Homo-oligomer: A and B are copies of this chain.
């Protein structure tokens, strides 16, 4: 039987909140992420548990079962492929595609996904640097650093973002910080941890700790 939009969204969110080590996700965290109330979450959890998509013991939080994980990864695959389409083919900015992909990700049809994937040239990453699961459901999260972990005078490559909010992405656009940019940390301010960074050997700019915390980078 088919899963509803709502069920798919829950599974995707549980996957995200559960993290790499599959830690239990709380009812309140889900209520927050789904913009619903805790009571509504409890109802949905009972249903997902009945369908065998999550492990759920009252008051103990939830994790995905293997079959729930499979569904979540399929949705993530579709979400990220559609984002690539919107940016690469239709010319949207990386700050504009999230909400649209949030709808497109629920269009059913295996063959649609696979044809889309081929049309896009089997991309490995979405416009925000997030890895795209392959057709078999393998999703390997690269081991990126957060910019706050980088020392003064180190040069790193910008690989992704943790915050996907349009306002953050637009801020990066204005600063010239795009995927693949070379970031050299020139100075870190002891007081507030703000940093002075040079982008692509060009302009130097100040970024707040808030920004540094949301930038995924990689040593070269």
- Chain A contact residues, CB within 8 Å of chain B: 86, 89-92, 96, 99-100, 103-104, 107-109, 111-112, 115-116, 119
Contact = CB atoms under 8 A, between A and B. Distances in A.
Main secondary structure of the interface of A (DSSP, over half): helix
B112 A90 contact: yes
B115 A109 contact: no
B100 A112 contact: yes
B109 A100 contact: yes
A92 B107 contact: no
Task: Give the top 10 A-B pairs by smallest Cβ distance, nearest first.
Answer: A90-B115, A103-B107, A100-B109, A90-B119, A100-B112, A89-B119, A91-B115, A104-B107, A90-B116, A92-B115
Nearest to A107: B103
A3 B25 CA distance: 34
Contacts of A115: 90-92
A112 B90 CA distance: 8
Contacts of A91: 115, 119
Contacts of A99: 109
A91 B119 CA distance: 9
A161 to B, nearest CB: 22
19 contacts: A86-B112, A89-B89, A89-B119, A90-B112, A90-B115, A90-B116, A90-B119, A91-B115, A91-B119, A92-B115, A96-B111, A99-B109, A100-B107, A100-B109, A100-B112, A103-B107, A103-B108, A104-B104, A104-B107
Contacts of A119: 89-91
A90 B89 CA distance: 12
A211 B22 CA distance: 57
A21 to B, nearest CB: 35
Given A89-B89, A90-B115, A96-B111, 6 more contacts: A86-B112, A90-B119, A91-B115, A92-B115, A100-B109, A103-B108
Contacts of A89: 89, 119
